[in-house]
């Protein structure tokens, strides 16, 4: 019995793949490395300084813990050694929160999640700044963070000469201060948030202070630099009473071509077909459906987006550029984008129904089909479109019935008036 050459090559390729998998199985180590066993907790609790922008999602990993601790509890303190200490946990070691249902300005307890010993804070606000400690239910602390959440007081679209002169003057005035110097540390420019069309790049600038008089209980990359809102900065500096604590967001236009689509090699495609994985790849992007009541605030998040990602939004085929829809630029718009890449509707209306596309790192990532509905049993106003339509129909029906009634009365009166005269003749 002769085996066709095509089937023979396919069988050899399958055997080669299986042999590679077996070799890799034998070469794999028996036990994985335990990072908690290799990293000891500090004997004296110190705090890592971390600065973020408002509306970002913060992730704070617990870098160390004793081996006997199988779960962690996160604690929050506004000020160090404050009696007002809150435990962020469900006392089972984990708390999962649906980030799509997290609104702005809610309590910290409704915007956090503990996943694999790490604390996640969704849409962090300035009030969330403070100390976060990783420990146990007994109050033993292993690791700590000094979190500084800063608001973007300035959004710059390519800088003008006046802005440059103002920044230079501010830097010169800070250099004259003997105790500290305030400066803005910028993240690198993000990638272009769209490909094939005009897009935008963003970079975040956070406020930092340089001084030789910082508190020694806080750790930073440099021993003389900390964020402006950090507890390591002495209160006598008076930074809380100045305008130095504001962050900055820079936005500029860009245009990059889309990368070519990867082409599967014929040998790999034949192997996939032989193994039964010959289903065609999904066309387009994943589709998400969201229904929301009318006249209530709504916040949309791009699935899979992280704070360091470049995120863009399209309403159908119309791009929503930050140069037009950035929060604070136009107070008359009910649709805007915040510094955490969330799309806000304030509030959602019937005209907002439709498809919204979000981009991540220059690639279209998801389609969100938004439906806006009226709540059952709600109190309607005369200004509602449905109320006006119903009122118009009622008036038309009443007018039509009135006209028919008048017509019947006139015909009856005419018939009674004309009939006797006809009878006489």
The mean pLDDT of 351-356, rounded to a whole number, is 93
Which span out of 184-193, 275-284, 327-336 was modeled with the highest average pLDDT?
A: 184-193
Report the CATH number at residue 346. Answer: 2.60.40.10
The mean pLDDT of 340-349, rounded to a whole number, is 90
Residue with the larger pLDDT of the pair 13 and 118: 118
- Give me 115's structure tokens: 């996943």
Q: Is residue 378 part of a domain?
A: no
The mean pLDDT of 331-348, rounded to a whole number, is 88
- 40/145 same-domain check: yes
* The predicted structure's pLDDT at residue 310: 92
Nearest-CA neighbor of 64 among 45, 32, 36? 36
3-class SS of residue 294: coil
Nearest-CA neighbor of 182 among 143, 211, 214? 211
**What's the pLDDT tens digit per position in 91-141?**
444 444 444 445 555 566 667 888 777 888 888 888 899 999 888 877 788
- 104/131 same-domain check: yes
**What's the pLDDT tens digit per position in 215-255?**
888 876 677 899 988 888 888 887 765 555 578 889 999 99
Q: Is residue 295 part of a domain?
A: yes
List Cβ neighbours of 300 (8 Å cut-off, separation of 6 or more). 290, 313, 342, 343, 344, 345, 356, 358, 368, 370
Q: Is residue 421 part of a domain?
A: no
Q: What are phi and psi of 181, to 5 degrees?
A: -130, 135
- Give me 2's structure tokens: 């002769």
- 144/224 same-domain check: no
- 135/184 same-domain check: no
CB-hemisphere CA count at 13 Å for 380?
A: 14
Euclidean distance between CA atoms 21 and 14, whole angstroms: 11
Euclidean distance between CA atoms 248 and 163, whole angstroms: 12
Residue 65: exposure state from Cβ atoms within 10 A (0-12, 13-18, ≥19): buried
- 364/350 same-domain check: yes
Nearest-CA neighbor of 324 among 157, 189, 202, 192? 157
If pLDDT is split at 50, 70 and 90, which confidence band does 355 have? very high
Euclidean distance between CA atoms 135 and 77, whole angstroms: 13
Q: Is residue 340 part of a domain?
A: yes
pLDDT at 33 over 60: no
The mean pLDDT of 210-216, rounded to a whole number, is 87
Range 243-278 burial, b when 16+ CB lie within 10 A, else e: ebbbbbbbbeebebeeeeeeeeeeeeebbeeeeeee
- 39/136 same-domain check: yes
- 101/62 same-domain check: yes
pTM of the model: 0.66
The mean pLDDT of 268-293, rounded to a whole number, is 67
How many structural domains compose the chain?
3
The mean pLDDT of 373-389, rounded to a whole number, is 70
* The predicted structure's pLDDT at residue 193: 92
Q: Is residue 406 part of a domain?
A: no
Domain boundary among 202, 222, 257: 257
Host domain of residue 137:
35-150
Range with the poorest average pLDDT among 3-12, 73-82, 176-185, 375-384: 3-12
- 133/155 same-domain check: no
Q: Is residue 383 part of a domain?
A: no
Q: Is residue 165 part of a domain?
A: no
pLDDT at 326 over 80: yes
- 135/204 same-domain check: no
Torsion of CA 101, 103, 109, 111, to 10 degrees: 70
**What is the bridge-based pairing of β-strands 141-150 and 130-135?**
antiparallel
- 198/243 same-domain check: yes
> Mean pLDDT of all residues in the chain?
76
- 287/251 same-domain check: no
pLDDT-above-90 percentage for the chain: 22
Q: Whose structure tokens read 């700590």? A: 144
- Give me 124's structure tokens: 């962090």
- 325/369 same-domain check: yes
The mean pLDDT of 333-338, rounded to a whole number, is 89
pLDDT at 72 over 90: no
**What's the pLDDT tens digit per position in 130-180?**
999 888 877 788 888 999 999 888 888 865 444 444 444 344 444 445 788
- Give me 225's structure tokens: 């630099």
Euclidean distance between CA atoms 25 and 28, whole angstroms: 5
Q: Is residue 58 part of a domain?
A: yes
* The predicted structure's pLDDT at residue 45: 82
């Amino acid at each position: 019995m002769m085996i066709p050459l095509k089937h023979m090559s396919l069988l050899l390729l399958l055997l080669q793949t299986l042999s590679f998998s077996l070799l890799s199985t034998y070469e794999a180590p028996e036990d994985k490395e335990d990072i908690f066993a290799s990293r000891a907790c500090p004997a004296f609790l110190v705090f890592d300084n971390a600065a973020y922008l408002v509306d970002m999602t913060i992730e704070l990993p617990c870098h160390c813990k004793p081996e006997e601790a199988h779960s962690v509890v996160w604690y929050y303190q506004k000020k160090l050694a404050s009696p007002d200490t809150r435990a962020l946990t469900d006392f089972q070691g984990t708390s999962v929160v649906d980030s799509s249902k997290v609104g702005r300005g809610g309590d910290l307890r409704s915007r956090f999640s503990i996943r694999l010993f790490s604390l996640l804070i969704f849409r962090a606000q300035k009030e969330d700044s403070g100390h976060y400690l990783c420990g146990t239910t007994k109050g033993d602390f292993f690791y700590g963070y000094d979190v500084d959440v800063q608001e973007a007081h300035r959004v710059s679209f390519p800088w003008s000469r006046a802005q440059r002169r103002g920044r230079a003057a501010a830097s010169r005035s800070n250099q004259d201060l003997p105790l500290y110097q305030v400066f803005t540390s910028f993240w690198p420019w993000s990638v272009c948030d769209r490909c094939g069309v005009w897009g935008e790049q963003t970079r975040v600038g956070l406020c930092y202070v340089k001084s030789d008089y910082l508190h020694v209980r806080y750790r930073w990359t440099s021993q003389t630099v900390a964020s402006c809102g950090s507890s390591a900065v002495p209160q006598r500096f008076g930074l809380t009473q100045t305008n130095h604590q504001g962050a900055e967001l820079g936005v500029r236009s860009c245009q990059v071509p889309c990368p070519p689509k990867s082409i599967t090699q014929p040998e790999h495609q034949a192997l996939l077909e032989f193994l039964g994985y010959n289903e065609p790849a999904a066309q387009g992007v994943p589709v998400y459906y969201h229904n929301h009541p009318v006249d209530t605030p709504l916040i949309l998040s791009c699935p899979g987006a992280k704070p360091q990602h470049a995120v863009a939004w399209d309403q159908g085929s119309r791009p929503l550029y930050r140069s037009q829809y950035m929060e604070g630029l136009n107070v008359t718009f009910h649709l805007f984008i915040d510094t955490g890449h969330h799309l806000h509707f304030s509030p959602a209306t019937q005209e907002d129904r439709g498809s919204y596309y979000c981009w991540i790192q220059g690639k279209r990532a998801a389609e969100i089909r938004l439906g806006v509905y009226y709540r059952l049993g709600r109190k309607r106003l005369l200004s509602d479109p449905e109320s006006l339509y119903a009122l118009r129909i009622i008036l038309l029906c009443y007018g039509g019935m009135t006209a028919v009634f008048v017509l019947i009365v006139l015909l009856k009166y005419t018939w009674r008036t004309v009939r006797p005269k006809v009878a006489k003749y």
